[in-house]
Protein backbone atom coordinates (compact mmCIF):
# COMPACT_ATOMS: atom_id res chain seq x y z
CA UNK A 1 0.00 0.00 0.00
CA UNK A 2 1.32 3.40 -0.98
CA UNK A 3 1.77 5.68 2.01
CA UNK A 4 3.09 9.19 2.42
CA UNK A 5 3.42 10.46 5.97
CA UNK A 6 4.36 14.05 6.70
CA UNK A 7 5.80 15.21 10.00
CA UNK A 8 7.52 18.20 11.54
CA UNK A 9 4.74 20.75 11.56
CA UNK A 10 3.99 22.99 14.50
CA UNK A 11 3.83 26.50 15.83
CA UNK A 12 6.70 28.82 14.93
CA UNK A 13 7.27 32.54 15.31
CA UNK A 14 7.55 34.85 12.31
CA UNK A 15 11.09 34.75 11.00
CA UNK A 16 11.63 31.29 12.40
CA UNK A 17 12.48 28.00 10.74
CA UNK A 18 10.95 24.56 10.50
CA UNK A 19 11.84 21.35 8.70
CA UNK A 20 9.14 19.08 7.34
CA UNK A 21 9.65 15.47 6.37
CA UNK A 22 7.64 13.12 4.21
CA UNK A 23 8.24 9.40 4.67
CA UNK A 24 7.26 7.23 1.72
CA UNK A 25 6.49 3.52 1.70
CA UNK A 26 4.77 0.92 -0.45
CA UNK A 27 6.38 1.99 -3.72
CA UNK A 28 9.79 2.59 -5.32
CA UNK A 29 10.31 6.13 -4.09
CA UNK A 30 13.40 6.78 -6.19
CA UNK A 31 11.57 6.62 -9.53
CA UNK A 32 8.92 9.22 -8.76
CA UNK A 33 9.04 12.98 -8.90
CA UNK A 34 7.60 14.47 -5.74
CA UNK A 35 5.83 17.68 -4.90
CA UNK A 36 4.83 19.81 -1.93
CA UNK A 37 1.40 21.44 -1.98
CA UNK A 38 0.01 23.64 0.78
CA UNK A 39 -3.43 24.75 1.85
CA UNK A 40 -4.04 27.75 4.08
CA UNK A 41 -6.87 27.30 6.59
CA UNK A 42 -10.20 27.40 4.77
CA UNK A 43 -8.51 28.16 1.45
CA UNK A 44 -7.62 26.35 -1.77
CA UNK A 45 -4.56 24.42 -2.85
CA UNK A 46 -1.24 26.04 -3.74
CA UNK A 47 1.60 24.20 -5.41
CA UNK A 48 4.88 24.83 -3.58
CA UNK A 49 7.61 22.75 -5.21
CA UNK A 50 8.68 19.86 -7.38
CA UNK A 51 11.78 17.72 -6.95
CA UNK A 52 12.97 15.26 -9.56
CA UNK A 53 13.72 11.59 -8.94
CA UNK A 54 17.40 12.21 -8.22
CA UNK A 55 16.89 15.53 -6.50
CA UNK A 56 18.97 17.31 -9.10
CA UNK A 57 16.09 19.35 -10.49
CA UNK A 58 13.97 21.50 -8.21
CA UNK A 59 11.28 24.03 -9.04
CA UNK A 60 9.42 26.16 -6.55
CA UNK A 61 6.70 28.77 -6.39
CA UNK A 62 7.76 32.40 -6.39
CA UNK A 63 6.09 32.83 -3.00
CA UNK A 64 8.67 30.62 -1.30
CA UNK A 65 11.73 31.09 -3.47
CA UNK A 66 14.83 32.03 -1.50
CA UNK A 67 13.23 31.00 1.80
CA UNK A 68 12.36 27.33 1.36
CA UNK A 69 14.73 24.58 0.27
CA UNK A 70 13.82 21.13 -0.88
CA UNK A 71 15.63 17.83 -0.85
CA UNK A 72 15.14 14.10 -0.84
CA UNK A 73 17.02 11.06 0.38
CA UNK A 74 16.18 8.07 -1.78
CA UNK A 75 18.08 5.71 0.53
CA UNK A 76 15.72 6.74 3.33
CA UNK A 77 12.62 7.04 1.12
CA UNK A 78 12.15 10.55 2.41
CA UNK A 79 11.37 14.03 1.18
CA UNK A 80 12.29 17.20 3.05
CA UNK A 81 11.17 20.82 3.13
CA UNK A 82 13.35 23.30 5.01
CA UNK A 83 11.40 26.47 5.70
CA UNK A 84 13.27 29.61 6.76
CA UNK A 85 12.20 33.21 7.29
CA UNK A 86 8.65 32.06 7.88
CA UNK A 87 5.80 34.50 7.49
CA UNK A 88 2.21 34.51 8.70
CA UNK A 89 1.08 33.79 5.15
CA UNK A 90 3.01 30.50 5.21
CA UNK A 91 0.49 29.15 7.70
CA UNK A 92 -1.02 26.13 6.03
CA UNK A 93 -1.32 22.38 5.92
CA UNK A 94 1.61 21.09 3.90
CA UNK A 95 1.09 17.98 1.82
CA UNK A 96 3.63 15.89 -0.03
CA UNK A 97 2.28 14.35 -3.21
CA UNK A 98 3.55 11.79 -5.68
CA UNK A 99 3.66 12.69 -9.36
CA UNK A 100 2.69 9.68 -11.44
CA UNK A 101 3.58 9.47 -15.12
CA UNK A 102 0.84 6.87 -15.64
CA UNK A 103 -1.70 9.41 -14.37
CA UNK A 104 -0.60 12.14 -16.71
CA UNK A 105 2.02 13.29 -14.20
CA UNK A 106 -0.71 14.49 -11.88
CA UNK A 107 -0.69 13.76 -8.16
CA UNK A 108 -2.02 10.29 -7.57
CA UNK A 109 -1.10 9.90 -3.89
CA UNK A 110 -1.00 12.48 -1.13
CA UNK A 111 0.04 12.41 2.49
CA UNK A 112 -2.38 13.38 5.24
CA UNK A 113 -0.64 16.72 5.68
CA UNK A 114 1.13 18.50 8.52
CA UNK A 115 0.00 21.86 9.87
CA UNK A 116 2.44 24.74 10.07
CA UNK A 117 1.29 27.76 12.05
CA UNK A 118 3.36 30.94 11.92
CA UNK A 119 2.33 33.25 14.72
CA UNK A 120 3.78 35.21 17.60
CA UNK B 1 0.53 32.16 -14.65
CA UNK B 2 -2.49 30.24 -15.88
CA UNK B 3 -5.52 31.08 -13.79
CA UNK B 4 -8.22 28.47 -13.35
CA UNK B 5 -11.69 29.75 -12.48
CA UNK B 6 -14.17 27.26 -11.08
CA UNK B 7 -17.90 27.74 -11.04
CA UNK B 8 -20.14 27.75 -9.23
CA UNK B 9 -18.42 28.31 -5.91
CA UNK B 10 -21.12 26.25 -4.22
CA UNK B 11 -23.52 23.73 -5.69
CA UNK B 12 -26.50 22.69 -3.55
CA UNK B 13 -27.97 19.42 -4.71
CA UNK B 14 -29.77 16.37 -3.39
CA UNK B 15 -28.53 12.78 -3.50
CA UNK B 16 -29.39 11.23 -6.85
CA UNK B 17 -29.16 14.51 -8.72
CA UNK B 18 -26.65 15.31 -11.45
CA UNK B 19 -23.76 17.63 -10.64
CA UNK B 20 -22.03 19.69 -13.30
CA UNK B 21 -18.87 21.56 -12.27
CA UNK B 22 -16.99 23.96 -14.51
CA UNK B 23 -13.33 24.92 -14.73
CA UNK B 24 -12.19 27.64 -17.12
CA UNK B 25 -8.54 28.38 -17.88
CA UNK B 26 -7.17 31.84 -18.67
CA UNK B 27 -5.37 30.34 -21.65
CA UNK B 28 -5.36 26.98 -23.34
CA UNK B 29 -4.10 24.07 -21.27
CA UNK B 30 -4.80 21.52 -24.01
CA UNK B 31 -5.95 18.42 -22.11
CA UNK B 32 -3.49 18.80 -19.24
CA UNK B 33 -6.17 19.14 -16.61
CA UNK B 34 -7.07 17.08 -13.56
CA UNK B 35 -9.88 17.05 -11.03
CA UNK B 36 -9.49 16.28 -7.32
CA UNK B 37 -11.99 15.68 -4.55
CA UNK B 38 -11.31 16.81 -1.00
CA UNK B 39 -13.35 16.00 2.06
CA UNK B 40 -12.98 17.85 5.38
CA UNK B 41 -9.79 16.94 7.18
CA UNK B 42 -8.56 14.79 4.31
CA UNK B 43 -6.01 15.12 1.56
CA UNK B 44 -7.16 15.67 -2.00
CA UNK B 45 -7.91 12.57 -4.07
CA UNK B 46 -7.22 12.38 -7.79
CA UNK B 47 -10.39 11.71 -9.76
CA UNK B 48 -9.74 12.61 -13.38
CA UNK B 49 -6.50 13.25 -15.26
CA UNK B 50 -5.80 14.47 -18.77
CA UNK B 51 -9.30 15.99 -18.78
CA UNK B 52 -11.25 12.78 -19.23
CA UNK B 53 -9.37 9.77 -17.86
CA UNK B 54 -10.72 8.28 -14.66
CA UNK B 55 -8.25 7.45 -11.92
CA UNK B 56 -7.94 3.83 -10.85
CA UNK B 57 -11.01 2.62 -9.02
CA UNK B 58 -13.10 5.73 -9.64
CA UNK B 59 -16.80 4.97 -10.02
CA UNK B 60 -18.23 5.43 -13.49
CA UNK B 61 -20.64 8.11 -12.28
CA UNK B 62 -17.70 10.54 -12.44
CA UNK B 63 -16.72 11.83 -15.86
CA UNK B 64 -14.60 14.63 -17.18
CA UNK B 65 -14.71 16.45 -20.49
CA UNK B 66 -13.31 19.44 -22.29
CA UNK B 67 -10.10 20.73 -23.80
CA UNK B 68 -8.42 24.05 -24.37
CA UNK B 69 -9.94 26.46 -21.87
CA UNK B 70 -13.26 24.92 -20.84
CA UNK B 71 -13.64 21.78 -18.76
CA UNK B 72 -16.44 19.99 -16.98
CA UNK B 73 -16.62 17.44 -14.20
CA UNK B 74 -19.93 15.60 -14.14
CA UNK B 75 -21.26 13.37 -11.40
CA UNK B 76 -24.21 11.61 -12.97
CA UNK B 77 -26.06 10.72 -9.78
CA UNK B 78 -24.78 12.04 -6.47
CA UNK B 79 -24.07 9.56 -3.71
CA UNK B 80 -23.86 10.72 -0.07
CA UNK B 81 -20.07 10.31 -0.13
CA UNK B 82 -19.72 12.69 -3.10
CA UNK B 83 -20.50 15.81 -1.09
CA UNK B 84 -17.12 17.48 -0.90
CA UNK B 85 -14.97 20.20 -2.44
CA UNK B 86 -13.67 19.68 -5.95
CA UNK B 87 -10.57 21.31 -7.43
CA UNK B 88 -9.25 21.43 -10.95
CA UNK B 89 -5.52 21.59 -11.66
CA UNK B 90 -3.52 22.31 -14.80
CA UNK B 91 -0.02 21.18 -15.72
CA UNK B 92 0.13 22.70 -19.17
CA UNK B 93 2.96 25.03 -18.21
CA UNK B 94 4.65 22.60 -15.83
CA UNK B 95 6.25 23.16 -13.41
CA UNK B 96 4.05 26.23 -12.92
CA UNK B 97 1.17 24.10 -11.76
CA UNK B 98 -1.97 25.93 -10.66
CA UNK B 99 -5.23 24.93 -9.02
CA UNK B 100 -8.68 26.37 -9.30
CA UNK B 101 -10.39 27.91 -6.30
CA UNK B 102 -12.70 24.94 -5.77
CA UNK B 103 -16.38 24.12 -5.97
CA UNK B 104 -18.17 22.91 -2.88
CA UNK B 105 -20.90 20.38 -3.53
CA UNK B 106 -23.24 20.49 -0.56
CA UNK B 107 -26.41 18.69 0.38
CA UNK B 108 -29.52 20.69 -0.37
Contacts of B95 in chain A (CB under 8 A): 50, 59
- So what's the pLDDT on residue B47? 97
- So what's the pLDDT on residue A11? 97
Q: How confident is the model at residue B95 (pLDDT cuts 50, 70, 90)?
A: confident
Count of positions (residues) in chain A:
120
Select from B49, B95, B98 the Cβ nearest to the Cβ of A106. Answer: B49
Q: Among A2, A35, A36, A45, which would you mutate to test the B interface (most chain B Cβ atoms within 10 Å of its Cβ)?
A: A45
Does the pLDDT at position B72 exceed 90? yes
In this complex, is the C-beta atom of A42 within 8 Å of any C-beta atom belonging to chain B?
no
Determine, for residues B99 and A110 on separate chains, whether the beta-carbon distance falls below 8 Å: no
Select from A103, A105, A110 the Cβ nearest to the Cβ of B44. Answer: A110
Tens of pLDDT along B3-17?
A: 999 999 999 999 999
Q: Are B49 and B34 in contact (CB under 8 A)?
A: yes
- So what's the pLDDT on residue A102? 84
Q: Could you please report the per-residue DSSP string of A18-59? A: EEEEEEEESS-GGGSEEEEEEE-TTS-EEEEEEE-SSS--EE
Tens of pLDDT along B34-71?
A: 999 999 999 999 999 999 999 999 999 999 999 999 99
- So what's the pLDDT on residue A19? 98
Q: How far apart are the first and last CA of chain A?
A: 40
- So what's the pLDDT on residue A111? 98
Question: What span, in angstroms and rounded, lies between the C-alpha atoms of B69 and A49?
Answer: 24
Residues ≥6 apart with Cβ < 8 Å to B71 = B22, B23, B24, B25, B33, B51, B64, B65, B88
Residues in chain A where the model's pLDDT stays below 50: none
pLDDT top residue among A118 and B96: A118
Rounded to a whole number of angstroms, the distance from the CA of B76 to the nearest CA of chain A is 23
In this complex, is the C-beta atom of B104 within 8 Å of any C-beta atom belonging to chain A?
no
Determine, for residues A44 and B98 on separate chains, whether the beta-carbon distance falls below 8 Å: no
Amino acid sequence: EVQLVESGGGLVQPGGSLRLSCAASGFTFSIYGMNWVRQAPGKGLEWVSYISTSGSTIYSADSVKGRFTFSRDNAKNSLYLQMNSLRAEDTAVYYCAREDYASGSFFDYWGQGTLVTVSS
Amino acid sequence: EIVLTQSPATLSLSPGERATLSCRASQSVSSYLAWYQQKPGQAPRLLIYDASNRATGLPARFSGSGSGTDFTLTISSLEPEDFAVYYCQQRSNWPRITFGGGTKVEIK
